[in-house]
Structure 1
């Protein structure tokens, strides 16, 4: 049956690999690539070779107005019948800055805007257009654990604060440093897990939401905003770690992301998918109070009208193990 999957972060890295797998394994899918500027049109044209159905919508994920316009365009195309029923949203795009002082046009810190608010706005504005069975996949990171085993000492662990503080610049110590920028990143990835738990409790039955952790993937564009030395290390040195158990190749990470989108393995809504299997995220990531606090804040930040009620589906998964 023909269906639509909307995807951010498909222009390169693991997202590009995943998009290719999705189209190859699900030939009935129409993939809508969301990307800024000409890269979206170029990516759609390249992915569409061989007869695959691919189109694009332009959006700057650092601007909530731009995200809102993109989601509205997708809604309109669905309502006019230009796109088949919506069965998937993949929030794979992510950024990491070399400080915690980068502010977007809406007045929010840019890491939080792209990694948290943009995904939430897409989910909320498209929620009544999903046709069950549907799946929402948000890419997270095992940096949210905050220990050496998961981040090799490269990224500080999350420092949770009230969402009103996290959404603004200068939330962390020495905000002009690389360490603060990386702390903003790991904290934003903890926030994505909280939000997916909230979705699992609130979205109607048949619309599942999961987070996907690719683990450490060297050689992607994530460090594009870092300094020259860090960019060089990510491009030339870190890829050698894929020969060890400490890192995942881009090809493997992209394949696992495609699996998560297409529902293999089958996991309960609210799950944390660590590469190819459901696993338990950090102990800190199971906190219903923080989940509800974050939900209320991002609803306010994005000015979404209408509220989702709590449902029985996913309530236990969101606050317990996803094993």
Structure 2
């Protein structure tokens, strides 16, 4: 069956390998990829051999840009699947999104929620990348990430927290807990019409997630931590990407709403099952993004629209 996919976070690491694998093994797949700088679609076409790849200029830290990108994709195709793989971790100090929100929350939570709001009624499947940092224990994050600290969504969205590396990494793990809450609530509200999954790549060095960190952390991430892929503690970006590709395009591995660790459904943290938080976050994200029907569309256009 022919598919049209909208994918974020395909420019490097896990997302790049996943996109190449999906395009190479599914000749009928048409893919729109968000791209801040241009050239991604051309590179994916060349690498995969699939000509049906189109770039869409989008800044996921701007809700107007997200709306415009989704609008122009929907003008050109019926989107049947969504992969929200883009993720941001800010460790050099708190930053504001274009809309005045804490930027980690804006990119990792609000952008995914808004894209699902805009294209959700067309979808058969949606996969959003989560992280086992949401567990907050040594077993799952090797002590490399602080535990999430949940607060009311309005507080999580405020950019006035401390400008420290620990605060930035805490915002990241908390945003990934929020992703799981959103997936649970989306699955509940969509019923059987769309399969929605949170997907965990595990510990994957070399993805570029630490590009905002200091020199010593960037060196360790690039030169030291990749050695862990030789052990059971970690997998390579290519291996993780191939797992994501199968979850996004293959037969469903679990019921909608499930947390999928690489290729297998598992139970997420005990704290990630909280219907009240799930409902409150969903409703807050609706308010922060603008209720359906209030979206307005800017002038962004796909960098290479299909004929």
Relative to the length of structure 2, the TM-score reads 0.92
Name which structure has the greater RCO, CA cutoff 8 Å, separation 6+.
Answer: 2
Equivalence map 1:1-323=2 (5 Å): 1-47=1-47, 50-78=49-77, 85-99=78-92, 101-130=94-123, 134-171=124-161, 175-305=162-292
Aligned residue for 1:221, secondary structure, equals coil
Residue 72 (structure 1) shift: 0.7
Count of residues in correspondence between the two structures = 294
Structure 1 gap segments, 5+ residues each: 79-84, 308-323
* More divergent stretch after superposition (221-230 vs 94-103): 94-103
Runs of 4+ in 1 over 3 A off after TM superposition: 39-47
> What is the alpha-carbon distance in structure 1 between the residues aligned to residue 267 and residue 83 of structure 2?
21
Q: Cα gap change, 1:205/1:20 in structure 2, threshold over 3 Å: closer, same or farther?
A: same
8 A contact 1:11–1:40 mirrored in 2: yes
> What is the alpha-carbon distance in structure 1 between the residues aligned to residue 64 and residue 85 of structure 2?
19
> What is the alpha-carbon distance in structure 1 between the residues aligned to residue 49 and residue 43 of structure 2?
14
Residue 259 (structure 1) shift: 1.0
8 A contact 1:44–1:56 mirrored in 2: no
User: Could you say what the CA RMSD is over the residues aligned between the two structures, in angstroms?
Assistant: 1.6
Structure 2 gap segments, 5+ residues each: 295-307
Q: Cα gap change, 1:185/1:156 in structure 2, threshold over 3 Å: closer, same or farther?
A: same
**Partner residue, 2:301:** none
